[in-house]
């Protein structure tokens, strides 16, 4: 235990394909793709995807620590990842996230944009399949873990779809939305299932719920006090192809936005961790202290709620100032 298995890569195509596919279910993808949709495609699509993503991921993470099914034994499998090895296996949250994101995007756009439904269905299926297969290739999940994750996500999509519009309307108009968007996720994070040893699932869950909370508050503020920054008239999925001018604007929005989002994450991590270190008397580099409940939850929740708020409020304001609307 604690030793990294040595392995020889015999097929570099599969190796890089599935390593890349695995990254499509991690923070680097969420922090780029979901804001991109908000900045460049459609607010309503982005809102629905973030709602689904937050709910699906919370249920998936909690289910792991309730079921406590172990990951595949190594050997015989070779594990190409180590960070999440301390987590339990069932269900695969990579499979859940990939299924939720790809198919919620398809469902949210198929009636608003002109593109072949068959093409959208194929893209969603290929995306989710690649991520699912990557979890088998990297040795992190069994076939049952992956199938279970995809099926749970599919069932949640079916159950949530009829109330999408109702939830979206309440999040935009209810005066209680900002309070509930912060309090409910915090309560869920502080009451996360306890384990006999440390696992990154609680921290990851707090990250997801924090980002969703910050984004939800941003959605509400934009609806109450600002005009929608981008509508379906700004960007069209399908044909005709994107013009060069539109492509420049899209890329400018994206790179400006990502810079602000990453800067926010970096600054808030430093500030919040310093404040908690002062409060609980531990050095910032003390990893064990950062894993304690009273440190990990506020540290990750405040940091990523700031990221979500920045992506939905500060970045669109900056886009406006720079003439990128």
Q: Is the pLDDT of residue 231 over 50?
A: no
169 among known catalytic residues: no
Q: Report the distance separating Cα 257 and Cα 262, nearest Å.
A: 9
Q: Report the distance separating Cα 25 and Cα 230, nearest Å.
A: 26
What confidence tier does 32 reach under pLDDT thresholds 50, 70, 90? confident
Predicted confidence at residue 4, as pLDDT, reads 58
Q: Which of 141, 169, 236, 319 is catalytic?
A: 141
Averaged confidence pLDDT in the chain: 84
Q: How far, in Å, are 124, 141, 213, 279 from residue 276 at the CA level?
A: 42, 35, 21, 5
Neighbours of 94 (CB within 10 A): 28
User: Does 196 or 118 have the greater pLDDT score?
Assistant: 118
The verdict on residue 40 lying in a domain is yes
The verdict on residue 94 lying in a domain is yes
Neighbours of 30 (CB within 10 A): 19
Predicted confidence at residue 83, as pLDDT, reads 65
Q: Is the pLDDT of residue 201 over 80?
A: yes
Residues with Cβ within 8 Å of 38's Cβ and at least 6 positions away in sequence, in order, are 46, 230, 311, 312
The dihedral through the CA atoms of 38, 40, 44, 48 has a sign that is negative
**Considering the entire predicted model, what is its pTM?**
0.84
For residue 318, the enclosing domain spans: 12-229+236-322
**pLDDT mean over 18-41:** 85
The verdict on residue 114 lying in a domain is yes
N- to C-terminal Cα distance for the chain?
53
Q: Report the distance separating Cα 36 and Cα 30, nearest Å.
A: 10
Q: Is the pLDDT of residue 29 over 70?
A: yes
Q: Is the pLDDT of residue 241 over 70?
A: no
Angle at 292 between CA 56 and CA 29, to 5 degrees: 35
The verdict on residue 1 lying in a domain is no
Predicted confidence at residue 237, as pLDDT, reads 43
pLDDT above 90: percentage of residues in the chain: 32
Number of domains in the chain: 1
Torsion of CA 173, 175, 176, 177, to 10 degrees: 40
What confidence tier does 114 reach under pLDDT thresholds 50, 70, 90? confident
What confidence tier does 96 reach under pLDDT thresholds 50, 70, 90? very high
User: Does 52 or 140 have the greater pLDDT score?
Assistant: 52
- List, for residues 247-292, the tens digit of each pLDDT value: 888 888 899 999 999 999 999 999 999 998 888 888 887 888 888 8
The verdict on residue 2 lying in a domain is no
SS3 content of the chain, % helix, strand, coil (to 5): 70, 0, 30
The verdict on residue 313 lying in a domain is yes
What confidence tier does 229 reach under pLDDT thresholds 50, 70, 90? very low
94 among known catalytic residues: yes
User: Under a CB-based contact definition with an 8 Å cutoff, are residues 96 and 151 in contact?
Assistant: no
Q: Which of 43, 94, 169, 319 is catalytic?
A: 94
């Amino acid at each position: 235990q604690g030793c990294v298995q040595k392995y020889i890569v015999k097929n570099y195509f599969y190796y890089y394909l599935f390593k890349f596919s695995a990254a499509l279910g991690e923070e680097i993808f969420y922090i780029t793709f979901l804001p991109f949709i908000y900045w460049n495609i459609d607010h309503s699509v982005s809102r629905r995807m973030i709602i689904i993503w937050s709910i699906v991921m919370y249920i998936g993470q909690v289910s792991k620590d309730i079921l406590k099914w172990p990951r595949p034994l190594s050997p015989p499998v070779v594990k190409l990842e180590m960070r999440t090895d301390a987590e339990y296996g069932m269900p695969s949250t990579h499979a859940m996230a990939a299924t939720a994101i790809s198919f919620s995007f398809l469902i949210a756009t198929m009636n608003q944009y002109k593109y072949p439904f068959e093409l959208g269905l194929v893209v969603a299926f290929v995306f989710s399949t690649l991520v699912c297969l990557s979890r088998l290739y990297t040795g992190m999940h069994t076939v049952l873990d992956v199938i279970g994750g995809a099926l749970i996500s599919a069932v949640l999509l079916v159950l949530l779809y009829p109330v999408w519009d109702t939830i979206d309307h309440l999040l935009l108009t209810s005066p209680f939305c900002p309070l509930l968007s912060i309090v409910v996720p915090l309560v869920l994070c502080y009451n996360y299932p306890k384990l006999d040893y440390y696992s990154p699932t609680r921290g990851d869950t707090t990250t997801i719920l924090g980002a969703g909370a910050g984004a939800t508050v941003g959605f509400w503020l934009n609806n109450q006090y600002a005009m929608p920054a981008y509508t379906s008239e700004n960007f069209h999925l399908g044909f005709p192809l994107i013009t060069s001018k539109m492509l420049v604007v899209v890329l400018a929005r994206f790179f400006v936005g990502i810079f602000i989002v990453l800067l926010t994450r970096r600054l808030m991590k430093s500030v919040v961790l310093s404040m908690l270190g002062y409060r609980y008397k531990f050095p910032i580099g003390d990893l064990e202290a950062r894993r304690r409940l009273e440190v990990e939850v506020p540290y990750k929740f405040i940091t990523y709620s700031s990221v979500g708020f920045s992506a939905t409020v500060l970045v669109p304001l900056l886009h406006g100032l720079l003439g990128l609307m």
